[in-house]
Structures are given as structure tokens and as C-alpha cells.
Amino acid sequence: MEANPLFFRDLAYVFLAAICGGMLAWKLRQPIILGYVLAGMLISPFTPGPSVTHVHTMELFAEIGVILLMFSVGLEFSIKDLLSVRWVALIGGPLGILLSIGAGLLVGRFMGWTSTQGVVIGCVISVASTMVLTRLLIDRGELNMEHGRVMVAITLVEDLAVVILIVLLPNFGSLDSARLLILGKSLGKAALILVPALLLAARILPPVLRTVARTRSPELFFGVVLAIGLGTAAL
């Protein structure tokens, strides 16, 4: 593969912008992740000034970063602590989604949208980012506090709901018998992915990681983390 100087220039843009954005957010006593988002906007092809050329390549790097960040977020949690607030999450998560959908319908009525459009907008705004939330809680030292566990548990329920919403949204336009059959098959596929993944994460991965950790080899542990993260994403 031939080296592309534009790729290295893009990487330089990304890191310089991230450093500047992060430092600005720190100076203003704002979450550093907010500075990173601002940095991404500044070097976007949609804003004036220097911008990255290979957007798709940067998106691939970003996806790998998200995979590793979500894995590191998972390492911060105790299943026992999350289960202690499960009823709040199981009730609060779906309730928040339903309220957002209701708000979308209400706003849509005033904006002249159809009911389907209102539902779609409500679904889109109903879920929060567990990744962003946990990063903010870690920075504030509140991840393991009771309110932190409640907030994370609710967003985890919303993350699982995203899988169902992604399957449902394309089918909102027409729900005839043929479409309902396709919808049922799609939900079944989603369950086939989620259920084994949850069982694997709860039963198999903890002893594997404990065994690797006993080797006290950072390189080996990092390799296993990469394999698990990227393998799960591929699945």
C-alpha cells in the first residue's frame, strides 16, 4: 500500500484540533468531550478552514475508538451494582422513550407533520449516549455513585431499545401483513444477536479477562481487548 501524505495530514489535523478543543473546554471548565466535538466540527468538510480529506477513513478510526471506549466503559461497571437499580432502569428507560415519542407527536401536530413523522422524530431523540454519559460521570468522579448507576442503567436499557427501534423505524411507513412478517423476522434476528452476546459477556468473558490479567502483560491484555471489541462489532 502506497503511503498517502494527505492521510498523515488528516491525522495531524485531528490530533491538533482535539488538543486545542480539549484545552479550551478545560479552560472554560466544561467537559473535555465537548471540546472534542467542537474540534471535529471545526475540521469538518462542512465548515470553512482546514478540513480532513479522507472522511471515510477518519470515520473508520472513530468507530474503532468508540468500540474500545465502550469496552473500557464496560470494565468500569459491576453487574451487581447495575442490577440493584434494575427496576428504575426497566421502568424509567421505556417510560422516557414513550414520553419522547409523545413529545414528538405533540410537536408534530403543531408543525403539520404526519403521525409517522412525529413518531420517528420522537424515537430519534428518545435515546441518550451511554458513551458520552459515562465519560462525563468518570470525569466528575460520579460513575459509582447511586445517581450515576441509575443514569447509566437507564441509558443501557435505551441502548438495547435502539436495536429494536432500528428494526422498527423503516417499517413505520406501511404495516401490511407482508411487512409485519418481515418485521417479526427482523426482531428475531436482533434477539439472536443480543441474547447470546449478553450471555457471553456475563459468563465467558470475565474469567477469560481474569486469566489474561494474571499474566501481567499489557500487550497481551490489549490484544485480547482488541479481539473481543472488534469481534463483537463484526458480529
Alpha carbon distances (Å) from 218 to 69, 77, 207, 223, 232: 17, 21, 17, 8, 21
pLDDT of residue 73: 67
Summary mean pLDDT of the chain: 79
The C-alpha atoms of residue 181 and residue 190 are separated, in whole angstroms, by 14
Regarding predicted confidence, which is higher, 155 or 131? 155
Please, which pLDDT band fits residue 1 given cuts at 50, 70 and 90?
A: very low
Regarding predicted confidence, which is higher, 5 or 35? 35
Please, which pLDDT band fits residue 75 given cuts at 50, 70 and 90?
A: low
**Nearest alpha-carbon partner for 138 in 79, 69, 205, 52:** 69
The C-alpha atoms of residue 112 and residue 212 are separated, in whole angstroms, by 58
The C-alpha atoms of residue 118 and residue 174 are separated, in whole angstroms, by 15
| CA 3 to mean position of chain CA atoms | 32
Regarding predicted confidence, which is higher, 170 or 3? 170
Please give the average per-residue pLDDT across 116-134, as a whole number.
Answer: 81
User: What is the pTM assigned to this prediction?
Assistant: 0.62
Instruction: Write the pLDDT tens digit of every residue in 4-19.
Output: 677 788 888 888 988 9
The C-alpha atoms of residue 207 and residue 35 are separated, in whole angstroms, by 37
- For 49: left if phi > 0, alpha if psi spans -120 to 50, otherwise beta; the answer is left
User: In this model, does residue 117 exceed pLDDT 50?
Assistant: yes
Regarding predicted confidence, which is higher, 177 or 143? 143
Please give the average per-residue pLDDT across 138-164, as a whole number.
Answer: 78
